Amino acid sequence: MLFIKGFHGEEINIAFWEFFGRNKILMIYLGIINVITFLAFAIDKLHAIKGKRRIRIITLLGLAFVGGSAGALLGMYTLRHKTKVYYFTVGVPLIMIMQAVVVFFVMNIRG
């Protein structure tokens, strides 16, 4: 799409670390939201074990969508939580791919 519309720079940029180095606030935000998302998965797992009130699916997926997809994936597989639920096993990786595509697009917009 970048090539068709002509919005790309002279060359394709794939230097993600350089991009995040220039955008420290974004990196800090992503770090915080991923920790929060991981903790939400951990709390939900503890509530599931104890039979307490659970965190809603939409909340967990929403946290992944707003930038916490890495924390969600880490929480799913390190805590063995929600790994049999289709929404999460398919949804979280798709959210992560979508976020990577958005970052790639933003990195390559001609400024």
Domain residue spans in the chain? 15-107
pLDDT attached to residue 91: 94
Q: What is the pLDDT of residues 44-100, one digit of tens each?
A: 999 999 999 999 999 999 999 999 999 999 999 999 999 999 989 999 999 999 999
pLDDT attached to residue 18: 84
For 94, the token pair is 């798709």
Mean pLDDT of 19-45: 94
Indicate whether 20 pLDDT > 80: yes
What's the predicted TM-score (pTM) here? Answer: 0.83
Measured N-to-C along each axis, helices 69-78 and 86-107 cross at an angle, to the nearest 10 degrees, of 150
Give me the residue label for tokens 């967990």.
60
- Under a CB-based contact definition with an 8 Å cutoff, are residues 99 and 8 in contact? no
> What is the rounded distance in angstroms from the CA atom of residue 58 to the CA atom of residue 39?
16
